[in-house]
Structure 1
Amino acid sequence: MAERESRRGAPGVWRRLAGRPWAVAGLAALGPAAWGTTFVTTTELLPPGRPLLSAALRALPAGLLFLAFTRRLPRGEWWWKAAVLGLLNFGAFFPLIFYGAYRLPGGVASTIGALSPLLVAGFGLVVLKVRPGRGTVPAALVGVVGVALLVLRSEAALDGAGIAALLLATALMALAVVLAKRWGRPEGVSLLALTGWQLTAGGLMLAPVALIVEGAPPVPTASHLVGYAYLGLIGTALAYALWFRGIERLPASSMSFLGLANPVVAAFAGLLLLGQSLTGWQVVGLLLVLSGVLWGQRAGRGGRPVAAGSAAGSGQRAERVPAAAAGG
């Protein structure tokens, strides 16, 4: 009898553990960690010169899979909200990232992406009316310096258009995090359904652009199929589901620091799969990145409303409680 009760209580224990902030953050960090393998997957498995096709095949099949599983479509204002989030997270973000990656060394791209915590803090102040927690800005600067030491090379060439594209992409991603906190999700709608709406919207925006700009897709090989399956299922469907779950349950500024897992994993992927090596300064950079992430998690929970009143109170609630409870 005691054994049966123990088994019955085990799922509840695991659910409670998975709901702890550290567990939510750890699971959410798997999203950026999976994105850190995108460069290796693209260069080793996917056809060259097809960034828009790769972006469309990352988003659309995963979105349709979620829609088929949940059988739930948006209603009312969520048609345009899902379209906006799909544009910010996928439809515009993916092409800008690929464009910048083609014109800039990976180290420069990762360093620009590390500015996300600063941008999220700024958007949170304007949109959520929540002042960044004490230590958020210093922690973000530590993260930027760490990423720069980890991935930036002295011979890195700078390209104005590429820098502009990546700055815009980083800003769009930061804005998407803040808007997702503000809007939450509709009552009774699962996280998978909301993720599917955004992926499908972004994929539908990308597919015709890819066809017009890049032409008909090439005949896929076995390596292409493996690469697309990995990016679609692991690097997109699973990664973004965990990422959006984290956005619901953690402060926006805390979430932005988890994105620093991306360049860390990218560096280790190059180390293990491409035969690259780490220098002493890169080890220092890695330690600074990890310090920035941990510091940012603590600082992110100390956000305060800018001023008393309904607007500030609403922003504080959106920052403090799960979006599902805060409403759509």
Structure 2
Amino acid sequence: MNADTRLEELGVSGLGEVDEAAFSGLAERHRRELHVHCYRMLGSFEDAEDTVQETFLRAWRRRETFEGRSTFRAWLYRIATNACLDLLAKCRPEPATGGEVRWLQPYPDRLLDELPAGDADEPETVAVARETIELAYLVAVQHLAPRPRAVLILRDVLGWPAKDVAELLGVSVNSVNSALQRARAGMREHLPAERQDWTGGEGDAGTRELVRRYTDASVATDIDGLAALLRDDVRCSMPPTPGLRVGRDAVVNDWVNDGFEDLGRLRAVQTSVNRQPAVAFYLWRKQEGAYLPLTIDVLRISGGAITEIITFHDDQFPRLGLPERLPADGTE
């Protein structure tokens, strides 16, 4: 049952006749997919949350402008897209550069799972397909200028017709098609060449074994063991800290220089974000008598090796539903 059917059931001809509680009920059923849409546009979980709230506020204030020529869902997407473009114009007038996105934040799989399962061609299912929610895709998207970014997401991810995108952006269909070509070229430039061989699904036995070996070597602070799991051209970053490391030697040297082998006792919890395997690390704190959050590594795996590691700081643990501490295990 979609939101437009609900309008009929409420016995009204337009949103202007709907009270705030009923309007909220209609809008809330789209919250998660709108949040994913804004997240894809912005690359930041927190900014996406704020933008969805702004979307609902704008929709409520402009409810009388909904004329039913499009679906209620499409009307919300129009408002959300424009809210994202407004935020980008104000806060990030320039796209990311240099292959890293300092404002990038992870998206927990448990929240992606809130969307109902459906057929492969249903909008909600397409909106969270692994190929368009993985971090490599997010990084590539953030390198596009805001409007081509919006065109790419609306056309290639959500499947909107060019004329609908043109209406939303207030441009011609030719302009939309031109922007889409530029955006696709930009994505080819920034997406990993081996992306079609990505094997990050949790159900893949080879992936599970590689993640286990990575976890064990990390807890043991075994740099040689970790290095053996990395592809020659591995990429490593830690947003919002600047600095992209490319190549096994560069990554390993960075670990050595940071004193990884002298870090202390670690424990780990395996999880998944952005439909990718991830490992959360906890460091023993004697004063606290517990292991406390340190970092979380999100892995991209292809060809039986780790191709990319994006490390996030401990402030992301609560959002990802990870424990705030782990108890002593008797080996401290």
**What is the TM-score with the length of structure 1 in the denominator?**
0.33
For the pair shown, the structure with the greater C-alpha radius of gyration is 2
Q: Which has the higher helix share?
A: 1
More strand by share: 2
Bigger relative contact order (CA 8 A; separation at least 6): 1
